[in-house]
Amino acid sequence: MRSILDEVILETRSTPLENRPRLPCIPLSKRNRAIVMALNPMLVTYLEASRDICETDSIIFGAALAVCRITGAKLPMAGRVTRQSSAIPAWRKRIEDRIEKARTLIGRLTSFRSGNNIPRIVRTVRMAFAGTNISLSQADITRKLTKRIIRRPEAKDRCLGEADSTIYREIKAV
């Protein structure tokens, strides 16, 4: 145990804070408690010799890492920085998803209007008009789609919602 502790403390002293692995949670079993209790007296010599808070932090992190290694807990790859899963904000993802769904729906409705009657397209159209007072016969839906699209040629832009944002400008450019 002493050799593992020495080795890990030397490693952590030379490792920058952002490159340290994230430590897993270890269950509180009798064996794990015994390991921690055995390492505590060994830490006293290191902590008394530490000069500043950064060195104390390295010693404590090293002790925690030593416990993980002794218990056999799985650690992430050393040297990798743990970051957030995505750099794109959640609100932007939601907006982009809604835009993508609207574009898909518009494409399928236009495809249906031009005579494409494959089951997937028909199912999408029926779902789009569900809950309205339009009958779900193919002729009525086609007539209603044609009437609306002819009346509003800018329907694509309107259904996405006009907003003064970079996302909207990107959509209009496409």
Domain locations along the chain: 2-71, 90-173
pLDDT at site 98: 93
Mean pLDDT, to the nearest integer, of 22-37? 87
DSSP class of residue 17? G
pLDDT in tens, 137-171: 667 777 766 665 555 445 455 544 544 445 445 54
Q: Is the pLDDT assigned to residue 70 strictly greater than 80?
A: yes
Distances (CA, A) of 153 to 41, 125, 144: 78, 19, 14
16 pLDDT tier (thresholds 50, 70, 90) = confident
* Contact in structure between 141 and 125 (CB atoms under 8 Å): yes
pTM: 0.44
